[in-house]
Amino acid sequence: MARTAYHHGDLQQQAHQQALSIVREHGDSAISLRALAKQIGVSAPALYRHFADRESLLAELAIKGFEWLRERLLQVDQNDPRQALIGIGLAYVAFAQDEPNLYRLMFGGRVLPLGVHPRLDSAGKSAFQVLEDTVARARDRGFLKPMPLSLMTATAWSLVHGLSLLTIDGHLPATESEPHLAAGVTSLLLDGAVAFPTRRTTSQNNEDTA
């Protein structure tokens, strides 16, 4: 495992690290295996001893991203249900804005579709699990309406995912310039947008969910 001129000795880890920093700075489309190999000082095919192909390398980076995201979500204080829900939302969007290129890689869809890299899929599930647990806990404590958990998590995830992508793509102002947007959006979901909520009008309930 010494580093002669021939056997590099640390290629896997170094390639991983170098590729990660390229993705974070310039996005996954800036990753070229040939250029990466040249930077490290190794021939391009050498990389194939450690990664099946370009996509598998990207999958490794996305896994790292999901682990980071999960850690950020786990740091949210879970004492008060409302604060926990808003905290998760803010932490989620903050991660996406801190790591826009990584977030796009994780959820790009075009590259790294579901079902191809099992470890990637399960890393994504683990991160999502934190959000789901938070919603479940809030519902169990009676803070949320007694609706299907899947509906509530789908709504929450859609909201933060959409807000994340729209801000990092520049369609909506980022937290930097509009500090209260993410919290406002999250609160709006919790409290509802309708002016005269509930009680009256069974007319709303007779047409939706089974």
Partner DNA sequence: TGCCAATGTTAACACCGTTAACTTAAGCAA
Partner DNA sequence: TTGCTTAAGTTAACGGTGTTAACATTGGCA
Cα 102 to chain centroid distance, Å, stands at 9
At 45, the amino acid letter reads P
CA distance 55 to 40: 19
CA distance 139 to 129: 15
Cα 14 to chain centroid distance, Å, stands at 24
Nearest distance from residue 158's CB to its own copies, in Å?
4
* Chain residues that interact with its own copies, rule: CB under 8 A: 27-29, 82-83, 86, 104, 107-110, 113-115, 124, 128, 142-147, 151-152, 154-155, 157-166, 168-172, 180-181, 183-185, 187-195, 197-198, 204, 207-210
48 versus 157: smaller Cβ distance to DNA? 48
Query: How many other CB atoms are found less than 10 A from the CB of residue 130?
Result: 20
Is residue 8 a contact point for DNA (CB under 7 A)? Answer: yes
Nearest distance from residue 29's CB to DNA, in Å?
10
Cα→Cα distances 75→68, 166, 184, 208, Å: 11, 24, 21, 36
Window 20-39: contact mask with DNA (x via CB under 7 A) = -----------xxxxx-x--
Is residue 113 a contact point for DNA (CB under 7 A)? Answer: no
Interacting residues toward DNA by CB under 7 A:
1-2, 4-9, 11, 31-35, 37, 42-46, 48-50, 53-55
